[in-house]
Structure 1
Amino acid sequence: MLVRLFRAHGDFCASHPWEVIVATFTLTACMLSVDKPPPTSPPPIPTAHHCLPGTTNCLTLEDYNAVDVIVMTMIRCIAVLYSYYQFCNLHKLGSKYILGIAGLFTVFSSFVFSSSVINFMRSDISDLKDALFFFLLLIDLSKATLLAQFALSSSSQQEVRHNIARGMAL
């Protein structure tokens, strides 16, 4: 059932590329401009200690920030190494076009997703630096590469539509 749905979606997107591009930009603009009403209660005042309920083990604010910095640094390093590994695998294919398509996909999708999530959560734009690295861990470039290979291996416009639909169904 889902295979047929994705194949139909791929066929539609391949046969109407400009409509898909305009719709993507329109939805992105809509997601970034959604405005929620302000919260009714004031934000909580940060405390100097973070304690577990029922225990005397407390972290001071400085310890809590130090742990946060260490964990986020490890996540950033893992995300960069994982992205490097995926792009090295793409480089082995030897096609500059596929590498460029994957890079463009990575940059655009991570920015749109992270900006939308931050906007919905009403966070500061400074949180974008953390969200981008989490999204880099979620991206699977092998699927985007397969789709690009299917599209680039076509010789006619009709074959492009068929190959993109087949790639979306995988």
Structure 2
Amino acid sequence: MSIKNLFQQESESVTEQPVKIPFDFTNRDSIPKGKDPGDCIVIKPITVRTWFRIRPLLLEIEKEDIDKMIVKDGELNADFPELMNKYGGLLLDVVCLGIHNKPSDPPAWFKKALIDNTTWEDIRILFNAIIYRIGYHPFCTSITMLRNVSPLRETEIIAARKNLQSWKDITKADS
């Protein structure tokens, strides 16, 4: 996949047409019989419903880290494997929700198929495609505004994230 190819399809985004990213699902072990993911991943304009599902996930990512994830022309980010380690599950959730873009949850098999068939760079490209479909500047503005009007200060937001993570860890252990 080439991110340059994706950005060359800018006119499709402006006209609200889906963007098709060529993708080869070579490992088909996690794809159920009768399901065919095709030879490309289609990212449609993000609906408001999907935006409201993705936004809380994006708020969990520190702004500096999002800035590192956003592809800049001709720039490779050596930090992305570290960011995948830090936010891997979260990025996969954003990518799956952005690709699925429907009121229901993405099928579990699709997430497994993505995990089995992608590299870090693929996830970065898909994440950028979804951010691109949201619209980068409105996205950054809404995140900044949300942080500015939040009744919580930065330290309280960090504490809330850590409390949420420890609660998730406890519930997983109890399951």
TM-score (norm: length of structure 2): 0.24
Instruction: Pick the structure with more helix per residue.
Output: 1
TM-score (norm: length of structure 1): 0.25
**Which one scores higher on RCO, CA 8 angstroms, separation ≥ 6?**
1
Answer with 1 or 2: which has the greater Rg: 1
